Amino acid sequence: MTVTLTDIAELRLRTFLRTSDVASSTTRGVRLSVSDGGCNGYEYGLGVVAAPQDGDITFQQGSLNVYVDGNSASLLEGVVVDYVDSLLESGFKFTNPNATDTCGCGKSFQAGDCTPEAAPCS
């Protein structure tokens, strides 16, 4: 499983961890997932969690615990998460080699014919 956070994305996520309401523990981290939704079929999920869920793929980047939803892994393989801060746009940006189309906001995507085994379109 290859998911990459840019240095700025890792820094912003560590900042969110420090200021979150999630109880501090050695397992606290961020979780990436994909769900049906958005304007293009799939929608990225990124959140602060206290611990991984059953089936999550876990790794560390720097001092940050990263958890990837096991059911979303095939759709997130090779994704690069960046943080953009500009006059027109601020937030996390996903560059996904599995995406065949993305929406204008960059928060949702389509993959092939919407039939990967990991997360079928509804």
Residues 89-104 pLDDT 10s: 889 998 888 877 776 6
d(CA 18, CA 39): 32
Band (pLDDT 50/70/90 cuts) for residue 41 is confident
Q: Where are the domains of the chain?
A: 4-110
Question: Could you identify the residue written with the tokens 């996390």?
Answer: 92
Burial per residue of 83-103, b for 16 or more beta-carbon CB atoms within 10 angstroms, e otherwise: beeeeeeeebbbebebbeebe
CATH code for residues 4-110: 2.60.300.12
DSSP conformational letter for 36: E
pTM across the whole model: 0.82
